[in-house]
Copies of this chain bind each other. A is one copy, B any other.
Amino acid sequence: MNALHTPPPAEKLSLNTATVKTQWRLDQIIEGCARHDIRGISPWRDQVAEIGLSRAAKMIRDHGLSVTGYCRGGMFPAIDKAGQLAALDDNYRAVDEALEIGAACLVLVVGGMPKGSKDIDGARQQVHDGIASLLQYSRKVGMPLAIEPLHPMYAADRACVNTMAYANDLCDVLGDDGFGIALDVYHVWWDPDLRNQIRRAGKQRLLAFHICDWLVPTTDLLLDRGMMGDGVIDIAGLRTAVEAEGYSGFHEVEIFSAANWWKRSPDEVLLTCKQRHLECC
Protein backbone atom coordinates (compact mmCIF):
# COMPACT_ATOMS: atom_id res chain seq x y z
CA MET A 1 0.00 0.00 0.00
CA ASN A 2 2.35 2.70 1.22
CA ALA A 3 5.06 3.28 3.76
CA LEU A 4 2.57 4.08 6.50
CA HIS A 5 0.41 1.01 5.94
CA THR A 6 0.08 -1.37 8.86
CA PRO A 7 -0.83 -4.82 7.56
CA PRO A 8 -3.90 -6.46 9.06
CA PRO A 9 -3.47 -9.63 11.13
CA ALA A 10 -3.19 -12.53 8.66
CA GLU A 11 -5.53 -14.62 10.78
CA LYS A 12 -8.38 -12.17 10.07
CA LEU A 13 -8.65 -13.30 6.45
CA SER A 14 -11.80 -15.20 5.53
CA LEU A 15 -12.68 -16.71 2.19
CA ASN A 16 -16.11 -16.27 0.70
CA THR A 17 -16.50 -19.48 -1.24
CA ALA A 18 -17.83 -17.69 -4.33
CA THR A 19 -14.23 -16.61 -4.94
CA VAL A 20 -13.23 -20.07 -6.22
CA LYS A 21 -16.64 -21.54 -6.87
CA THR A 22 -16.03 -22.45 -10.49
CA GLN A 23 -12.85 -24.38 -9.69
CA TRP A 24 -13.62 -26.24 -6.45
CA ARG A 25 -16.51 -27.91 -4.68
CA LEU A 26 -17.05 -26.82 -1.08
CA ASP A 27 -15.12 -29.77 0.38
CA GLN A 28 -12.13 -28.81 -1.73
CA ILE A 29 -12.49 -25.17 -0.68
CA ILE A 30 -12.54 -26.14 3.01
CA GLU A 31 -9.42 -28.24 2.53
CA GLY A 32 -7.84 -25.42 0.54
CA CYS A 33 -8.47 -22.92 3.34
CA ALA A 34 -6.95 -25.28 5.88
CA ARG A 35 -3.95 -26.00 3.66
CA HIS A 36 -3.30 -22.27 3.12
CA ASP A 37 -4.00 -21.43 6.77
CA ILE A 38 -6.98 -19.22 5.97
CA ARG A 39 -8.96 -19.27 9.21
CA GLY A 40 -12.38 -18.02 8.11
CA ILE A 41 -14.87 -19.19 5.50
CA SER A 42 -18.23 -17.95 4.27
CA PRO A 43 -20.06 -20.60 2.26
CA TRP A 44 -22.95 -20.25 -0.19
CA ARG A 45 -26.08 -22.33 0.15
CA ASP A 46 -25.85 -23.95 -3.26
CA GLN A 47 -22.30 -25.09 -2.56
CA VAL A 48 -23.36 -26.42 0.83
CA ALA A 49 -26.29 -28.27 -0.70
CA GLU A 50 -23.98 -29.87 -3.24
CA ILE A 51 -21.99 -31.74 -0.60
CA GLY A 52 -24.70 -31.89 2.07
CA LEU A 53 -25.27 -29.59 5.03
CA SER A 54 -24.19 -31.92 7.83
CA ARG A 55 -21.04 -32.98 5.97
CA ALA A 56 -20.19 -29.33 5.24
CA ALA A 57 -20.75 -28.40 8.89
CA LYS A 58 -18.63 -31.31 10.12
CA MET A 59 -15.78 -30.60 7.71
CA ILE A 60 -15.71 -26.93 8.69
CA ARG A 61 -15.69 -27.85 12.39
CA ASP A 62 -13.05 -30.53 11.92
CA HIS A 63 -10.77 -28.03 10.20
CA GLY A 64 -11.36 -25.43 12.89
CA LEU A 65 -12.59 -22.76 10.48
CA SER A 66 -14.71 -19.84 11.65
CA VAL A 67 -17.85 -19.34 9.57
CA THR A 68 -17.86 -15.57 9.16
CA GLY A 69 -21.21 -15.51 7.39
CA TYR A 70 -23.67 -17.68 5.52
CA CYS A 71 -24.68 -16.66 1.99
CA ARG A 72 -27.43 -15.91 1.80
CA GLY A 73 -30.94 -15.03 2.83
CA GLY A 74 -33.09 -12.23 1.50
CA MET A 75 -34.80 -11.82 -1.88
CA PHE A 76 -37.98 -10.82 -0.07
CA PRO A 77 -40.02 -8.89 -2.66
CA ALA A 78 -42.43 -10.87 -4.76
CA ILE A 79 -45.28 -10.17 -7.10
CA ASP A 80 -47.94 -11.56 -4.75
CA LYS A 81 -48.56 -12.85 -1.23
CA ALA A 82 -47.78 -16.44 -2.16
CA GLY A 83 -44.42 -15.41 -3.51
CA GLN A 84 -43.68 -13.41 -0.38
CA LEU A 85 -44.52 -16.36 1.83
CA ALA A 86 -42.39 -18.69 -0.26
CA ALA A 87 -39.48 -16.25 0.08
CA LEU A 88 -40.00 -16.10 3.82
CA ASP A 89 -40.10 -19.90 4.08
CA ASP A 90 -36.83 -20.11 2.24
CA ASN A 91 -35.35 -17.58 4.65
CA TYR A 92 -36.41 -19.67 7.66
CA ARG A 93 -34.53 -22.58 6.10
CA ALA A 94 -31.51 -20.37 5.54
CA VAL A 95 -31.53 -19.41 9.22
CA ASP A 96 -31.66 -23.08 10.20
CA GLU A 97 -28.79 -23.92 7.87
CA ALA A 98 -26.75 -20.99 9.17
CA LEU A 99 -27.26 -22.30 12.70
CA GLU A 100 -26.21 -25.83 11.84
CA ILE A 101 -23.09 -24.64 10.03
CA GLY A 102 -22.19 -22.36 12.94
CA ALA A 103 -22.28 -19.07 11.03
CA ALA A 104 -21.65 -15.77 12.77
CA CYS A 105 -24.52 -14.26 10.79
CA LEU A 106 -26.86 -14.87 7.90
CA VAL A 107 -26.11 -12.35 5.15
CA LEU A 108 -29.20 -10.78 3.58
CA VAL A 109 -29.22 -9.74 -0.07
CA VAL A 110 -32.66 -8.28 0.17
CA GLY A 111 -33.92 -8.48 -3.42
CA GLY A 112 -35.03 -5.92 -5.97
CA MET A 113 -38.33 -5.14 -7.62
CA PRO A 114 -40.59 -8.00 -8.66
CA LYS A 115 -40.61 -8.61 -12.41
CA GLY A 116 -42.66 -5.97 -14.20
CA SER A 117 -42.69 -3.55 -11.27
CA LYS A 118 -41.33 0.00 -11.25
CA ASP A 119 -42.21 0.52 -7.61
CA ILE A 120 -38.92 0.60 -5.71
CA ASP A 121 -40.59 2.14 -2.66
CA GLY A 122 -42.97 -0.81 -2.62
CA ALA A 123 -40.06 -3.23 -2.88
CA ARG A 124 -38.39 -1.49 0.05
CA GLN A 125 -41.57 -1.84 2.08
CA GLN A 126 -41.64 -5.58 1.29
CA VAL A 127 -38.02 -5.83 2.40
CA HIS A 128 -38.87 -4.15 5.67
CA ASP A 129 -41.83 -6.44 6.22
CA GLY A 130 -39.88 -9.57 5.27
CA ILE A 131 -37.02 -8.82 7.62
CA ALA A 132 -39.45 -7.93 10.40
CA SER A 133 -41.06 -11.35 10.04
CA LEU A 134 -37.77 -13.19 9.77
CA LEU A 135 -36.38 -11.45 12.86
CA GLN A 136 -39.19 -12.93 14.96
CA TYR A 137 -37.70 -16.33 14.20
CA SER A 138 -33.98 -15.53 13.92
CA ARG A 139 -33.95 -13.73 17.27
CA LYS A 140 -35.61 -16.67 18.97
CA VAL A 141 -33.06 -19.16 17.65
CA GLY A 142 -30.12 -16.78 17.99
CA MET A 143 -28.93 -16.24 14.43
CA PRO A 144 -27.95 -12.61 13.67
CA LEU A 145 -29.11 -11.21 10.35
CA ALA A 146 -26.65 -8.98 8.46
CA ILE A 147 -28.21 -6.83 5.77
CA GLU A 148 -25.77 -6.15 2.95
CA PRO A 149 -26.29 -2.86 1.12
CA LEU A 150 -25.58 -3.62 -2.54
CA HIS A 151 -24.19 -1.20 -5.10
CA PRO A 152 -26.91 0.94 -6.70
CA MET A 153 -26.32 -0.83 -10.02
CA TYR A 154 -28.11 -3.81 -8.44
CA ALA A 155 -31.09 -1.81 -7.17
CA ALA A 156 -33.51 -3.11 -9.79
CA ASP A 157 -32.95 -6.83 -9.64
CA ARG A 158 -30.79 -7.82 -6.65
CA ALA A 159 -31.11 -5.49 -3.71
CA CYS A 160 -33.07 -2.28 -3.25
CA VAL A 161 -31.05 -1.44 -0.13
CA ASN A 162 -28.10 0.40 -1.66
CA THR A 163 -26.54 2.61 0.97
CA MET A 164 -25.25 2.27 4.50
CA ALA A 165 -27.64 5.09 5.40
CA TYR A 166 -30.67 3.07 4.35
CA ALA A 167 -29.35 -0.05 6.11
CA ASN A 168 -28.88 2.04 9.25
CA ASP A 169 -32.42 3.36 8.85
CA LEU A 170 -33.70 -0.23 8.80
CA CYS A 171 -31.69 -1.03 11.92
CA ASP A 172 -33.22 2.02 13.61
CA VAL A 173 -36.71 0.86 12.74
CA LEU A 174 -36.33 -2.88 13.29
CA GLY A 175 -34.02 -2.81 16.29
CA ASP A 176 -30.40 -3.76 16.76
CA ASP A 177 -31.04 -7.02 18.59
CA GLY A 178 -29.74 -9.77 16.31
CA PHE A 179 -29.70 -7.42 13.35
CA GLY A 180 -26.87 -5.51 11.73
CA ILE A 181 -24.96 -4.78 8.56
CA ALA A 182 -22.48 -6.58 6.32
CA LEU A 183 -20.29 -3.86 4.84
CA ASP A 184 -18.78 -4.85 1.49
CA VAL A 185 -16.32 -2.23 0.27
CA TYR A 186 -17.25 -3.00 -3.34
CA HIS A 187 -20.79 -1.83 -2.82
CA VAL A 188 -20.28 1.28 -0.73
CA TRP A 189 -16.79 2.70 -1.41
CA TRP A 190 -18.14 5.47 -3.68
CA ASP A 191 -20.54 6.93 -1.08
CA PRO A 192 -19.59 10.43 0.16
CA ASP A 193 -21.62 9.71 3.28
CA LEU A 194 -19.84 6.41 4.02
CA ARG A 195 -17.61 7.50 6.90
CA ASN A 196 -20.56 9.09 8.70
CA GLN A 197 -22.64 5.99 8.22
CA ILE A 198 -19.88 3.70 9.50
CA ARG A 199 -19.77 5.83 12.62
CA ARG A 200 -23.54 5.72 12.86
CA ALA A 201 -23.50 1.92 12.54
CA GLY A 202 -20.89 1.52 15.23
CA LYS A 203 -19.47 -1.71 16.56
CA GLN A 204 -22.84 -3.25 17.38
CA ARG A 205 -24.18 -3.10 13.82
CA LEU A 206 -20.98 -3.92 11.94
CA LEU A 207 -21.36 -7.70 11.67
CA ALA A 208 -19.14 -8.38 8.67
CA PHE A 209 -16.51 -6.67 6.52
CA HIS A 210 -16.16 -7.86 2.92
CA ILE A 211 -13.27 -6.97 0.66
CA CYS A 212 -12.41 -7.00 -3.04
CA ASP A 213 -11.72 -4.14 -5.44
CA TRP A 214 -13.41 -1.98 -8.08
CA LEU A 215 -11.66 -2.32 -11.42
CA VAL A 216 -11.29 0.48 -13.95
CA PRO A 217 -12.74 -0.27 -16.37
CA THR A 218 -15.33 -2.68 -15.02
CA THR A 219 -16.52 -4.78 -17.94
CA ASP A 220 -19.43 -6.65 -16.37
CA LEU A 221 -21.93 -5.55 -13.74
CA LEU A 222 -21.86 -8.87 -11.92
CA LEU A 223 -18.74 -10.85 -12.61
CA ASP A 224 -15.85 -8.43 -12.92
CA ARG A 225 -14.81 -7.75 -9.35
CA GLY A 226 -11.14 -7.19 -8.73
CA MET A 227 -8.55 -8.66 -6.39
CA MET A 228 -7.61 -6.32 -3.58
CA GLY A 229 -5.01 -3.88 -4.88
CA ASP A 230 -5.99 -4.15 -8.53
CA GLY A 231 -8.61 -1.41 -8.35
CA VAL A 232 -9.37 1.99 -6.89
CA ILE A 233 -10.85 1.27 -3.46
CA ASP A 234 -8.96 2.54 -0.44
CA ILE A 235 -9.54 -0.75 1.38
CA ALA A 236 -7.00 -0.03 4.12
CA GLY A 237 -8.71 3.26 4.84
CA LEU A 238 -12.09 1.57 5.16
CA ARG A 239 -10.66 -1.15 7.39
CA THR A 240 -9.26 1.59 9.60
CA ALA A 241 -12.69 3.24 9.68
CA VAL A 242 -14.53 0.10 10.82
CA GLU A 243 -11.79 -0.74 13.30
CA ALA A 244 -12.11 2.77 14.73
CA GLU A 245 -15.67 1.76 15.68
CA GLY A 246 -14.39 -1.36 17.40
CA TYR A 247 -14.89 -3.86 14.61
CA SER A 248 -12.47 -6.71 15.20
CA GLY A 249 -13.96 -9.44 13.03
CA PHE A 250 -12.76 -11.10 9.86
CA HIS A 251 -11.98 -9.57 6.48
CA GLU A 252 -13.92 -11.69 4.06
CA VAL A 253 -12.69 -11.71 0.49
CA GLU A 254 -15.49 -12.18 -2.05
CA ILE A 255 -14.57 -11.96 -5.72
CA PHE A 256 -16.85 -12.77 -8.63
CA SER A 257 -14.50 -12.76 -11.60
CA ALA A 258 -15.59 -14.79 -14.59
CA ALA A 259 -12.80 -13.72 -16.92
CA ASN A 260 -9.88 -13.72 -14.50
CA TRP A 261 -9.82 -15.28 -11.02
CA TRP A 262 -12.40 -17.94 -11.78
CA LYS A 263 -10.10 -19.14 -14.56
CA ARG A 264 -6.96 -19.42 -12.45
CA SER A 265 -5.64 -22.21 -10.29
CA PRO A 266 -7.58 -21.98 -7.02
CA ASP A 267 -4.40 -22.46 -5.02
CA GLU A 268 -2.94 -19.44 -6.81
CA VAL A 269 -6.12 -17.48 -6.04
CA LEU A 270 -5.86 -18.28 -2.33
CA LEU A 271 -2.18 -17.41 -2.20
CA THR A 272 -2.91 -14.11 -3.94
CA CYS A 273 -5.75 -13.35 -1.51
CA LYS A 274 -3.39 -13.89 1.42
CA GLN A 275 -0.67 -11.72 -0.06
CA ARG A 276 -2.98 -8.88 -1.11
CA HIS A 277 -4.76 -8.98 2.23
CA LEU A 278 -1.48 -8.11 3.91
CA GLU A 279 -0.31 -5.64 1.29
CA CYS A 280 -3.47 -3.79 0.31
CA CYS A 281 -6.03 -4.07 3.12
Residue from B118, B163, B191, B234 in contact with A232 in the complex, judged by beta carbons closer than 8 Å: B118
CB-based contact A155/B234 at 8 Å: no
Stretch at the interface among A22-30, A76-84, A212-220: A212-220
CB-CB under 8 A from A120, the residues of chain B are 189-190, 232, 234
CB-CB under 8 A from A189, the residues of chain B are 120, 155
The residue of chain B having its C-beta at the shortest distance from the C-beta of A236 within the complex is B118
Number of copies: 2
Residue from B117, B124, B156 in contact with A214 in the complex, judged by beta carbons closer than 8 Å: B156
A72 at the interface (CB under 8 A from B): no
Least CB distance from A173 to B in Å reads 13
Interface string of A232-252 (1 = CB under 8 A from B): 111000000000000000000
Q: How many residues of A contact B (CB 8 A)?
A: 32
A151 at the interface (CB under 8 A from B): yes
Residues of A148-179 whose CB lies within 8 A of B: 151-153, 155-157, 160, 162-163, 165-166
CB-based contact B162/A190 at 8 Å: yes
CB-based contact A163/B151 at 8 Å: no
CB-CB under 8 A from A160, the residues of chain B are 190
Chain A residues close to B by CB (< 8 Å):
113, 117-120, 124, 151-153, 155-157, 160, 162-163, 165-166, 189-193, 214, 216-219, 221, 231-234
Please name 14 further chain A to chain B contacts, defined as beta carbons within 8 Å, in addition to the given A120-B232, A162-B190, sorted by A numbering. A117-B232, A118-B232, A119-B234, A151-B153, A152-B190, A152-B191, A153-B221, A156-B190, A156-B216, A156-B232, A157-B217, A160-B190, A166-B192, A221-B221
